[in-house]
């Protein structure tokens, strides 16, 4: 049976856990994660690091998801509000949600994890082949710009239990 593993680590300092290199401890760590996934028959693994900052007035969230793509090729996606910059890790005001884009023939399906917001606060803006997603409730602010594989039009969207599902018709 295929399963997903999700791991959350708390209390790790930003300097120790930011960026793919920090979590993976180099390319060897990434290969170890992928190898373990194959051995255990899993198709996806996700890790999240959360750390209170600014004396508890803010939160740094960083994570990544590794899933097996076509031909067994690993697909890595980062999410959270910590960005690697030339000056070092920076905590942004908005989080980048974990998002999957699925090609279903004549349609595209976009699935985004947006925990802690209400459906009425989710805004979608579709311009050709770019879908912009924003949501906000209190200190939870999300933003993601997705480059779709083709131009599309919005068919419908639904939000349930922190998961947004958007169905798009290919142009």
What's the full length of the chain, in residues? 171
Residue 157 CA to residue 11 CA, distance in Å, equals: 36
Give the model's pLDDT for residue 34: 72
Segment 117-139, tens digit of pLDDT: 999 999 999 999 999 999 999 88
Q: Once rounded to an integer, what is the mean pLDDT over residues 72-89?
A: 74
Residue 8 CA to residue 129 CA, distance in Å, equals: 33
**Whole-prediction pTM:** 0.64
Give the model's pLDDT for residue 28: 60
Residue 10: pLDDT band with limits 50, 70, 90 = very low
Segment 17-65, tens digit of pLDDT: 444 444 444 456 667 777 777 778 777 777 677 777 767 667 777 777 7
Q: Once rounded to an integer, what is the mean pLDDT over residues 65-85?
A: 74
Residue 125 CA to residue 160 CA, distance in Å, equals: 20
| Residue 71 or 22, more confident | 71
Dihedrals φ, ψ of 14, to 5°?
A: -55, -45
Q: Which residues pair with 59 in a beta bridge?
A: 52
Structure tokens at 33: 């994660």
Give the chain's domains with CATH numbers: 1-93 (no CATH), 97-171 (2.60.40.790)
């Amino acid at each position: 049976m295929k399963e997903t593993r999700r791991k959350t680590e708390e209390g790790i300092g930003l300097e120790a856990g930011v960026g793919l290199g920090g979590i993976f401890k180099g390319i060897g760590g990434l290969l170890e994660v992928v190898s373990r996934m194959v051995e255990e028959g899993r198709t996806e693994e996700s890790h999240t690091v959360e750390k209170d900052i600014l004396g508890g007035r803010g939160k740094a969230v960083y994570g990544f998801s590794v899933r097996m793509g076509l031909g067994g090729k690993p697909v890595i996606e980062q999410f959270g509000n910590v960005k690697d910059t030339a000056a070092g890790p920076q905590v942004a005001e908005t989080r980048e949600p974990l998002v999957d884009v699925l090609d279903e023939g004549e349609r595209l399906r976009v699935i985004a994890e947006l925990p802690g917001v209400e459906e009425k606060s989710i805004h979608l803006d579709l311009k050709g082949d770019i879908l912009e997603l924003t949501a906000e409730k209190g200190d939870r602010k999300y933003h993601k710009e997705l480059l779709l594989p083709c131009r599309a039009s919005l068919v419908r969207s639904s939000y349930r239990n922190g998961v947004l599902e958007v169905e798009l018709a290919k142009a």
